[in-house]
C-alpha cells in the first residue's frame, strides 16, 4: 500500500497525512493506547505528516503525539499550530504578535518533547496584528532552528499574498471537501500560483461523508458536531441525500463513500495533501487506501453532479466561529 510523496513548497511529505485532533477532543472519548497504535500504523504505512495543535485538548494532543513519536522522530514530518486563544467563557479569538508566537513555540516544543517543529502554522489570523509581524517572528524561529517551515490556516487570499511577500509559506491549511469548497474561489488558486501547498482538513466532512452518521442522536455529549449547522435536524436530511448519491457511485467502484470523497480531495492537485483525522487503525487503513484511488473523468463529473456545493444545507460553523475564518 504505497502512499507516495508530495511537496508542500520545498517540504516533502507523504501524499496523505494524519489529523490527530480527534484523539484528544471534539469527537467523543479518546483511547490513548489505540491512538498511539494508530499513529504507529500510519508511519508503517508511509504516512509521515502528523498534524496537531496547541489547543487540541488544551495541550494534551501535543503530549500524546510526542509520546507516540518519541522513539521514531526521524520518520515524522511534525506539524503543529498556534494562534487560537479562548477566554474564560470559551469565546475564541486569535493572536499573532511576536511575543506570543515565541511563547507558543517554546510551549509546544516542550509538550512534544522535540527540538524542532517541521511545519508551524498560524491557526487563525489575528486581525489586530499585521501578518507581516507574525511572519517576521516565524522567520526568526526558522533562522534559530526552532521550526523548519511555516504555514497559515483558514486565511484569505490577500493574507497569503502578504505573507508570501515576507517569506513563502510551505502550506495553507483549510477545510476542503465535497461539502466545503470555499477555498476554491481564491485561496486555492493563489496557492497554486505561488507554489504553496494546500493541506485540507476534514476532507471527509467531519465524518459525515462516510455515511456513518445518519442522525444527530448518534453524536454524544461533548461532540462538537452537535453545534455545527450542517448536523442539525433541519439540515441533516438534505445532506444525507448527498451521501446516498455518493454511496451509489462508490458501490459501483467497489469502495466506500468515504474513500470516494477522500479520493476526490486527493485529486485536486499534486500540491494538495489532505489530513483525514481518525483515532482508529481500521479507519486509517481505509483512508490510506483512498490515496491510490484514481477517479476517471466520467466519475468526477458524476461526483460533481451528485454533490454540488449548492446542495449542501447549513453553514460550516455557527456565526461566532465563521467570523474567525477567511481573514
pLDDT digits (tens, 9 = 90+) for 61-82: 999 999 999 999 999 999 999 9
- pLDDT above 80 (res 276): yes
Residue with grid cell 508570501, as numbered in its chain: 164
Average pLDDT, the chain: 94
**β-pairing, 92-94 with 117-122?**
unpaired
pLDDT at position 320? 77
- pLDDT above 70 (res 100): yes
- pLDDT above 90 (res 220): no
Cα 77–83–85 angle (5° rounding)?
130
In this predicted model, which residue has the larger pLDDT, 211 or 201?
A: 201
- pLDDT above 70 (res 9): yes
Residue with grid cell 518519541, as numbered in its chain: 70
pLDDT at position 98? 98
- pLDDT above 90 (res 165): yes
Q: Are 39 and 65 in contact (CB under 8 A)?
A: yes
pLDDT at position 132? 98
What are the grid coordinates assigned to 160, written together? 497569503
Average pLDDT over residues 299-307: 93
- Max CA pair span of the chain: 55
pLDDT at position 233? 86
- pLDDT above 90 (res 317): no
- pLDDT above 70 (res 244): yes
Fold designation for 5-204+269-293: TIM Barrel (3.20.20)
Question: In which element (H, E) is residue 165 found?
Answer: helix 157-166
The closest of 133, 170, 164 to 149, measured between CA atoms, is 170
284-to-47, 95, 258 alpha-carbon distances in Å: 10, 33, 12
Question: Catalytic site residue 56?
Answer: yes
Q: How confident is the model at residue 224 (pLDDT cuts 50, 70, 90)?
A: confident
Average pLDDT over residues 44-53: 98
Q: Are 298 and 227 in contact (CB under 8 A)?
A: no
Which residues make beta-bridge pairs with 201?
175
Question: Which one is catalytic: 56, 121, 150, 283?
Answer: 56
Average pLDDT over residues 95-108: 98
Q: How confident is the model at residue 146 (pLDDT cuts 50, 70, 90)?
A: very high
Q: How confident is the model at residue 136 (pLDDT cuts 50, 70, 90)?
A: very high
Average pLDDT over residues 302-312: 90
- pLDDT above 90 (res 142): yes
- pLDDT above 90 (res 28): no
The Cα 4–Cα 34 span in angstroms is 25
pLDDT at position 1? 58
Radius of gyration of the chain (CA): 19
Based on the number of CB atoms within 10 Å of its own CB, is 294 exposed (0-12), middle (13-18) or buried (19 or more)?
A: exposed
The Cα 297–Cα 56 span in angstroms is 38
Please state whether the predicted TM-score (pTM) of the whole model is above 0.85.
yes
Query: What 3-state DSSP class applies to 42?
Result: helix
Q: Are 273 and 17 in contact (CB under 8 A)?
A: yes
Amino acid at each position: 500500500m504505497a502512499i507516495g510523496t508530495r511537496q508542500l513548497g520545498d517540504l516533502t511529505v507523504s501524499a496523505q497525512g494524519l489529523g490527530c485532533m480527534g484523539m484528544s477532543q471534539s469527537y467523543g472519548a479518546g483511547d490513548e493506547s489505540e491512538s498511539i497504535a494508530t499513529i504507529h500504523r500510519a508511519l508503517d504505512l508511509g504516512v509521515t505528516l502528523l498534524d496537531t495543535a496547541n489547543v487540541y485538548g488544551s495541550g494534551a494532543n501535543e503530549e500524546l503525539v510526542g509520546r507516540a513519536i518519541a522513539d521514531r522522530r526521524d520518520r515524522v514530518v511534525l506539524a503543529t499550530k498556534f494562534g487560537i486563544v479562548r477566554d474564560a467563557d470559551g469565546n475564541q479569538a486569535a493572536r499573532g504578535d511576536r511575543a506570543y508566537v515565541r511563547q507558543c513555540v517554546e510551549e509546544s516544543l516542550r509538550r512534544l518533547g522535540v527540538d524542532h517543529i517541521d511545519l508551524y502554522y498560524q491557526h487563525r489570523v489575528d486581525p489586530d496584528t499585521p501578518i507581516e509581524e507574525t511572519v517576521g517572528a516565524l522567520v526568526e524561529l526558522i533562522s534559530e532552528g526552532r521550526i523548519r517551515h511555516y504555514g497559515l490556516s483558514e486565511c484569505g487570499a490577500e493574507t497569503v499574498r502578504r505573507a508570501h511577500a515576507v517569506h513563502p509559506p510551505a502550506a495553507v491549511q483549510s477545510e476542503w471537501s465535497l461539502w466545503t469548497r470555499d477555498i476554491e474561489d481564491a485561496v486555492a488558486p493563489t496557492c497554486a500560483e505561488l507554489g504553496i501547498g494546500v493541506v485540507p482538513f476534514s476532507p471527509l466532512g467531519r465524518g459525515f461523508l462516510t455515511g456513518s452518521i445518519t442522525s444527530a442522536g448518534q453524536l454524544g455529549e461533548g461532540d462538537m458536531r452537535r453545534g455545527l449547522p450542517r448536523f442539525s435536524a433541519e439540515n441533516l436530511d438534505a445532506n444525507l441525500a448527498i451521501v446516498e448519491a455518493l454511496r451509489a457511485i462508490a458501490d459501483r467502484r467497489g469502495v466506500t463513500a468515504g474513500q470516494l470523497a477522500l479520493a476526490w480531495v486527493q485529486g485536486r492537485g499534486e500540491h494538495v495533501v489532505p489530513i483525514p483525522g481518525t483515532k482508529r487503525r481500521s479507519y486509517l487503513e481505509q483512508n490510506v487506501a483512498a490515496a491510490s484511488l484514481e477517479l476517471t473523468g466520467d466519475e468526477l463529473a458524476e461526483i460533481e453532479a451528485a454533490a454540488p456545493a449548492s446542495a449542501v444545507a447549513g453553514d460550516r460553523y455557527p456565526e461566532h466561529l465563521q467570523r474567525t475564518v477567511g481573514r
